């Protein structure tokens, strides 16, 4: 079970709640947008990691309130129909998922409470860009720690909860989210299509033989420098404490020193910010179709000098079954 935070407006929330369907913008809906196909892959990555039974919070812009608690009632899907007649949610917001009320908390959380606690080092996976906007994403994946703490805040403010609200889920044209799998040999063309396929595998618990026994993952994990780690894998112990983090930097084609620099910067930040200086907790992994020789040489030299490995994993795309295959590259 994982946590997610959807950003909605007052107008869209009314339609979401009335129909039991959350929706985010599809950048590919406008044929005039030349980057629409590429941007659609990224938008789908925000939803593709959601499983039935995962938990949602909704942040209502304008009101600056967080509502809780809701549960995913379907896999993510594609639908261009209007949620309600003459409504706001139309074909522009075709990336969708069903939800139902899980716990009906009458008292909501003010977003200012979150920013105050974020200043104290809490809520790493909730990001602020400017004003009351939350990051760049309509749907944020939260860490288990952040989700648990946010839920605890709701319980603290609500000694009495209301009966679960009944939501009449609207029928819809349920088409699965489909990534653009154009490829050159065994190398995918779109970076986010690669990430989307990978996230879909992670939510099924795949590739633990090569990635380790992760039990949680967060795409687009924000750092304090307003950069985003492609994917963070997390392992918890039986008490819910984090045992380790793995930082994943993805490249659909060739992993160059540019990606390596990002990975090393993320590692340094994570050791100091979220691991309290414990470098043993942080593991860096570059995943790509192939690797620049300079990257391979640096990783080997670093291991000799500071005895800390950067793992390189190569992927290949099997177009016969649309599956990813991974193997160690160092």
Q: Are residues 204 and 160 in the same domain?
A: no
Q: By three-state DSSP, how is residue 178 classified?
A: coil
Q: Are residues 33 and 166 in the same domain?
A: yes
For 101, residues 6+ apart whose C-beta sits below 8 A from its C-beta are 69, 70, 71, 164, 165, 166, 167
Q: What is the 3-state secondary structure (H, E, C) of 87-112?
A: CCCCCCCCEEEEEEECCECCCCEEHH
Q: What does the pLDDT look like over 128-158, one tens digit per residue? A: 653 333 346 899 999 999 999 999 999 999 9
Helix orientation angle between 36-48 and 191-202, rounded to the nearest 10 degrees: 10
Q: Are residues 222 and 299 in the same domain?
A: yes
Q: Are residues 293 and 193 in the same domain?
A: yes
Q: How many Å apart are CA 324 and CA 198, to the nearest integer? A: 7
Q: Are residues 190 and 318 in the same domain?
A: yes
Q: What does the pLDDT look like over 151-174, one tens digit per residue? A: 999 999 999 999 998 887 777 778
Expressed in percent and rounded to 5, the helix, strand and coil fractions of the chain are 30, 30, 40
Identify the domain boundary among 111, 142, 176: 176
Q: Are residues 51 and 172 in the same domain?
A: yes
Range of the domain at 188: 183-328
Site of tokens 């995962």: 54
Identify the domain boundary among 134, 156, 176: 176
Report the CATH number at residue 187.
3.40.1350.10
pTM of the shown model: 0.92
Q: Is the pLDDT of residue 90 over 50?
A: yes
Tell me how many domains the chain contains: 2
Going by DSSP bridges, is the β-strand pair 55-60/3-8 parallel, antiparallel, or unpaired? parallel
Nearest to 19 by CA among 62, 79, 105: 79
**Where is average pLDDT lowest: 135-144, 212-221, 279-288?**
135-144
Q: Are residues 37 and 145 in the same domain?
A: yes
For residue 68 the two structure tokens come to 């809780």
Q: Are residues 290 and 159 in the same domain?
A: no
Q: How many Å apart are CA 66 and CA 109, to the nearest integer? A: 5
């Amino acid at each position: 079970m994982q946590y997610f935070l959807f950003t909605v407006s007052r107008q869209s929330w009314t339609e979401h709640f009335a129909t039991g369907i959350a929706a985010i913008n599809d950048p590919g809906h406008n044929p005039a947008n030349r980057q629409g196909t590429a941007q659609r892959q990224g938008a789908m990555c925000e939803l593709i990691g959601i499983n039935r039974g995962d938990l949602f919070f909704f942040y209502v812009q304008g009101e600056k309130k967080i509502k809780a608690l809701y549960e995913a009632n379907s896999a993510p899907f594609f639908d261009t129909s209007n949620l309600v007649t003459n409504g706001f949610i139309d074909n522009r917001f075709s990336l969708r998922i069903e939800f139902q009320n899980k716990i009906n908390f009458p008292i909501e959380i003010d977003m200012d409470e979150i920013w105050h606690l974020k200043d104290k080092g809490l809520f790493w996976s909730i990001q602020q860009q400017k004003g009351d906007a939350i990051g760049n994403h309509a749907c944020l994946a939260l860490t288990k720690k952040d989700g648990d703490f946010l839920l605890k805040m709701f319980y603290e403010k609500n000694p009495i909860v209301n009966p679960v609200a009944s939501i009449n889920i609207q029928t819809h044209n349920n088409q699965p989210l489909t990534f653009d799998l154009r490829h050159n040999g065994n190398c995918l063309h779109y970076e986010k299509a690669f990430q989307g396929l990978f996230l879909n595998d992670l939510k099924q618990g795949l590739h633990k033989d090569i990635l380790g026994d992760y039990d949680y993952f967060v795409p687009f994990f924000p750092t304090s420098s307003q950069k985003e780690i492609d994917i963070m894998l997390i392992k918890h112990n039986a008490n819910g404490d984090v045992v380790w983090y793995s930082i994943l930097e993805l490249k659909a084609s060739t992993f160059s020193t540019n990606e390596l620099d990002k990975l090393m910067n993320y590692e340094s930040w994570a050791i100091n910010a979220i691991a309290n200086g414990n470098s043993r907790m942080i593991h860096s992994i570059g995943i790509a179709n192939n690797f620049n020789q300079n990257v391979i040489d640096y990783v080997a030299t670093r291991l000799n000098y500071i005895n800390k490995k950067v793992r390189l994993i190569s992927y290949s795309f099997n177009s016969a079954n649309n599956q990813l295959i991974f193997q160690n590259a160092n």
